[in-house]
Amino acid sequence: MREVYIAGVGSTPFGKHSDTSIENLAVTAVVQALLESTVERDEVGALYLGNFISGPLNGKEILAGLVADRIGLPPIPCTKVEGACASGGIAFRHAYLAVASGQTDIAIAVGVETMTHASTKQTTVALNCAMDNENDGPSGLTFPGLFGLAWRSHEERYGTSRSHVSAVVRKNKSNGLKNPLAQMGAILSEQEIAASLPICDPILLFDCCPTSDGAAAVVLVSKEVGKRIAQHLKHPLVEVLASVQTRGSPNIGGHQDLVSFNANVTAAAQAYEKARVNPQNIDLVELHDCFSIAEIIDSEDLGLVPRGQGGYWAIEGRTALDGDIAINPSGGLLAKGHPVGATGIGQIYEVTLQLRHQHSNQVQQARLGMTHNLGGAGVACTVTILRGNM
Amino acid sequence: MREVYIAGVGSTPFGKHSDTSIENLAVTAVVQALLESTVERDEVGALYLGNFISGPLNGKEILAGLVADRIGLPPIPCTKVEGACASGGIAFRHAYLAVASGQTDIAIAVGVETMTHASTKQTTVALNCAMDNENDGPSGLTFPGLFGLAWRSHEERYGTSRSHVSAVVRKNKSNGLKNPLAQMGAILSEQEIAASLPICDPILLFDCCPTSDGAAAVVLVSKEVGKRIAQHLKHPLVEVLASVQTRGSPNIGGHQDLVSFNANVTAAAQAYEKARVNPQNIDLVELHDCFSIAEIIDSEDLGLVPRGQGGYWAIEGRTALDGDIAINPSGGLLAKGHPVGATGIGQIYEVTLQLRHQHSNQVQQARLGMTHNLGGAGVACTVTILRGNM
């Protein structure tokens, strides 16, 4: 496999975009990434688009071809990939593989979703397409319910309390305040969080990521192309050290318990091995905090925080911008937002800016960054390790 | 890129499967392909699943992970890919690439769709997810309308008549009679076809593929694995000489005219070049006859029949089992059925059986076979060239 570099990234703000179509959102992100990369459209050899529920919510599929058409790309392979909330990460991995395996020297990955136009019921039904409905459907659980169960298990096992989880909410909402792309941001007190609307015990409104529209894109290039364009770029290239995708159980019964997701653990192990780095080397991570408790679980599964210590590290500030490991400096899904298919590529966008030292919430001396995208009840996971070349 | 071989195929019959779930259909096909291939489940390194509209019609996504879970595959990357009616072909290509590029020695491609449980309106709305709704939506056209326009253009340009098109219907419905997996088959007279229900002038009911449920799967292996398992197999390996994916316009206005689809022409040219064969070398093809007129257009776009001659060749029997080029010996989409996401893999299944000389409609001395899968209004196309090793 060849070396692969990120030459350009683009993103719309995450939030409400009721004034435009889903394909136009994606086009905006791709055009921005292409401009930044300085490569020409007719040089692009493959496009992968991550999207989860445009079929049910927009009556639109073939988004990969639609977006390529609007941009005026050549008659190249354009593929939509889906793995629930990990769809964006899967799109990135496939664009990476297209370059790494020598199929093309330049590939685009784009993720997009629009959700805010739909009713809460429509959105809930659509999001439940990510469940194993044959096995978990009869329980009536939706995703807040699943992560509520995970919270109770983590509490029972490790003593993780409302205060621990609130520390995650406070950090991420605060990080969101300074991220220009974030859907929301706030300085919140523990009391304000505890007073927010109950959603599914013990999960409160502020423990949940918002419903979002948005798109993000990345242009990946071979080493050869990277060398050619380096002089034209306004920023350094970022190297992809590892891009990994794994599978876990799609249903609750398939997990040994809910304090960990196998797909996370497997993906992290493979990613560290491929990148030849240790968890201790990672300066920052954008991980999949669809609910506040998920950040705690994921941080432990990725080996960034000792098992059971996720809540403790959060409350002690060890996962803050200047902590031992900066977790979700973007605000994460909780504050930046979660336009499902876009999230995985949005994370790449954020980490790329960090490794170029261009971020509004810059982690000092950031050199190694990670992204983590998790789909469904742990059915699909992607982990990426990126290195800055400052 | 490494050599890639088909070690096993599996398929459910195409038709009505109201007694089982979409994931179970896919599992049935995969298990059959695995058994035939003799490879163990824990040796599989990647799974790609082609599906188009399970979200809107079943409320189920993450099908790749669901199917892998049911089969008990390892924690490998499992990805759903979508490109409308070409979703199956795209899944095949990605499993091929996974082996060809050395990511894994064994990969599975599976395609699946269930549609017959839904109402005609639900199905029509879902199928229209493959349209460019921003551009072609206002016309009110659905796919019969699009191919009706194509028919009129072809008629105007080349004199293609009702009789020419009926010859395609007669051949494919007749071929379907002897295919045990086909949804339907019949010996039809021109008069019976002409008397069938009008759908969208000039298209009649018998010009349309049926609404179908079904699944098909294939196990792809590296040369090394092929050598290892060859002695255990009850059939010869089939070699993948080319697996190509291209993009065309998603909307009507983007085509110069409707007597040809650019994505077809581009894909065929690339496939012949990769496989180092000429159209004249191809013994049989399973191509995308979603409507009878589409077979005529596709056969010309693929260079198998001279431009404008598709209808003439059909009426002269030159596309029959014993003709110059056997087109759709399976009965094609018109008779075998069109469970959208399964179709592209179903074509691979059919051609594989032909190249093993195991088909119920065997093309004599078949050695080189082709499959062709087209999505939307020509937005995505895959072409595969396979070689038998008799």
Q: Are A177 and A187 in contact (CB under 8 A)?
A: yes
- As a whole-number percent, the residues of chain A with pLDDT over 70 amount to 100
Task: Summarize the confidence of residues A108-117 as an average pLDDT.
Answer: 98
Residue A56 — φ and ψ, nearest 5°?
-60, -40
With beta carbons under 8 A apart, name residues in chain B contacting A97.
97, 101, 103
Residues of B in contact with A83 (CB under 8 A): 62, 64-65, 78-80
With contact defined as beta carbons under 8 Å apart, do A305 and A325 qualify? yes
- Report CB contact under 8 Å: B60, A376: no
pLDDT of A200 > 70? The answer is yes
| Phi, psi (deg, nearest 5) at residue B294 | -65, -35
* Identity of the residue in A65, A90, A376 whose CB atom sits nearest the CB atom of B79: A90
- Does the annotation count A359 as an active-site position? no
Q: What is the pLDDT of residues B16-48, one digit of tens each?
A: 999 999 999 999 999 999 999 999 999 999 999
Q: How far is CA A340 from CA A9, A14, A93, A210, in A?
A: 18, 11, 16, 11
Nearest beta carbon to residue B77 from set A132, A247, A249: A247
pLDDT score of A65: 98
- Type of residue at A359: H
Nearest-CA residue of chain B relative to A378? B65
**Mutation for B interface: A22, A24, A62, most B CBs within 10 A:** A62
Q: Is B338 a catalytic residue?
A: yes
* B 18-37 residues with CB < 8 A to A: 21, 23
Question: How high does pLDDT run on average in chain A?
Answer: 97
Kindly provide the ipTM of the predicted complex, given to two decimals: 0.97
Contacts of A101 (CB under 8 A, 6+ apart): A1, A2, B1, B97, B101, B102, B103
Would you call B66 and A249 a contact, using CB atoms and an 8 Å cutoff? no
Which DSSP letter does residue A340 get? H
Q: How many CA atoms lie within 13 A of A24 on its CB side?
A: 8
pLDDT in tens, A253-267: 999 999 999 999 999
If you search the block for the tokens 């490494």, which residue do you land on? B2
Q: Render pLDDT for A82-104 as a digit per residue (tens, 0 to 9).
A: 999 999 999 999 999 999 999 99
B296/chain A closest Cα distance in angstroms:
23
Sign of CA dihedral A352, A357, A359, A365: positive
pLDDT tens track for B95-143: 999 999 999 999 999 999 999 999 999 999 999 999 999 999 999 999 9
Q: Which domains does chain B have, with CATH numbers?
A: 4-119+211-238 (3.40.47.10), 132-208+241-388 (3.40.47.10)
Quote the mean pLDDT of chain B: 97
What's the rounded Cα separation, in Å, for the pair B110 and B73?
14
CB-CB under 8 Å, B62 with A379: yes
- Tally C-beta pairs within 8 A across A and B: 179
A242 part of contact set with chain B, CB < 8 Å: no
Q: Tell whether the model's pLDDT for residue B390 goes beyond 60.
A: no
Q: Determine contact: A263 vs chain B, CB below 8 A.
A: yes
Which residues between 178 and 197 in chain B have a beta carbon less than 8 angstroms from any beta carbon of chain A?
none
- What value, to the nearest 5°, has the Cα angle with vertex B19 and ends B15 and B24? 85
Among residues of chain A, what percentage have pLDDT more than 90? 99
Cα–Cα distance measured from residue A108 to residue A151, given in angstroms and rounded to the nearest whole number: 37
Query: How confident is the model over A23-69, as pLDDT tens digits?
Result: 999 999 999 999 999 999 999 999 999 999 999 999 999 999 999 99
Q: What's the pTM?
A: 0.98
Residue A75 and residue B248: Cβ atoms within 8 Å? yes
Give residue B389's pLDDT band: very low, low, confident or very high (50, 70, 90): confident
B297 min Cα distance to partner chain A (Å): 19
CA distances to A122, A124, B352 from B346, in Å:
33, 34, 10
Chain B interface includes A50 (CB < 8 A): no
